[in-house]
């Protein structure tokens, strides 16, 4: 009788553990509204209400929440990335809340915060965070810190730029610490140092640096080296704006 009670008790304990154990997606196929852990092709992370497919190439993510762990290969179509490390793959849309992006291609969506180490940004909206290096093709930057890389186009609204190459685009406001400006439209902000090759300066505070060419419309020139440029009437000058 006692043995039967012990057996029944043990069976209840095992059954309870089985019910509460977390589901793991680690076989090829489609998953819908899945909550648990993905372990596939080097990727591992906790997910909630997720729809995705596992195949020989990696994870084809359609929707849901990802929180923690590491993403290594695959395509992200939509959903929310709450945290974790992204090592490579293609991001097409969705919201990135926090985490570290090591490499890959970003084609659209919203970046809220986190660290971008390297990769190619095609388009999308950057709210805040740290950009260490990489290629920015197009999109809207609202705030954060840029340390290096190449900016090809888009609109910069605010933030700090510490270095790198600005090819073209619109700078609305913010602080430029150093780097090379090749072309584009500067609306307002603070320029601390660096090389200005060409473009249109609408207004702002120029503290120091090298001005090679372009149009200066208005602003406060405090110092640096002026090579040549035009005023807002198209008249060319060989001396700096503080001497006009």
Q: Quote the number of domains for the chain.
A: 1
Print the SS3 string covering the chain.
Answer: CHHHHHHHHHHHHHHHHHHHCCCEECCCEEEEEEEEEEEECCEEEEEEEEEEEEECCEEEEEEEEEEEEEECCEEECCCEEEEEEECCCEECCCEECCCEECCCEECCCEECCCEECCCEECCCEECCCEECCCEECCCEECCCEECCCEECCCEECCCEECCCEECCCEECCCEECCCEECCCEECCCEECCCEECCCEECCCEECCCEECCCEECCCEECCCEECCEECCCCCEECCCHHHC
pLDDT at position 20 = 36
pTM: 0.89
pLDDT for 68 equals 97
Beta bridge partners of 119: none
pLDDT digits (tens, 9 = 90+) for 70-89: 999 999 999 999 999 999 99
**Digit-coded pLDDT (tens) for 81-134:** 999 999 999 999 999 999 999 999 999 999 999 999 999 999 999 999 999 999
Note down the domain range covering 79.
2-243
231's CB contacts (< 8 A; 6+ apart) are 215, 216, 217, 237, 241, 244
């Amino acid at each position: 009788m006692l043995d039967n009670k012990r057996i029944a008790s043990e069976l209840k304990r095992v059954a309870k553990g089985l019910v509460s154990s977390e589901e793991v997606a680690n076989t090829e196929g489609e998953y819908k509204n899945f909550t648990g852990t993905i372990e596939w092709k080097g990727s591992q992370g906790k997910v909630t209400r997720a729809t995705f497919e596992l195949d020989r190439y990696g994870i084809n993510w359609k929707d849901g929440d990802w929180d923690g762990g590491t993403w290594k290969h695959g395509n992200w179509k939509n959903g929310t990335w709450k945290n974790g490390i992204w090592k490579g793959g293609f991001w097409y849309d969705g919201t990135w809340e926090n985490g570290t992006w090591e490499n890959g291609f970003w084609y659209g969506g919203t970046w809220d915060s986190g660290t971008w180490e390297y990769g190619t940004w095609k388009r999308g909206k950057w709210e805040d965070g740290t950009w260490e290096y990489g290629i920015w093709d197009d999109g809207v930057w609202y705030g954060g810190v840029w340390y290096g890389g190449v900016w090809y186009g888009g609109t910069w609204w605010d933030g700090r730029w510490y270095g790198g190459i600005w090819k073209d685009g619109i700078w609305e406001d913010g602080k430029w610490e150093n780097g090379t400006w090749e072309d584009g439209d500067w609306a307002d902000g603070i320029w601390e140092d660096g090389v200005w090759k060409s473009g249109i300066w609408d207004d702002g505070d120029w503290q120091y640096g090298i001005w090679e060419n372009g149009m200066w419309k208005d602003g406060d020139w405090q110092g640096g080296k002026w090579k040549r440029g035009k005023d807002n009437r198209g008249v060319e000058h060989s001396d700096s704006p503080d001497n006009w």
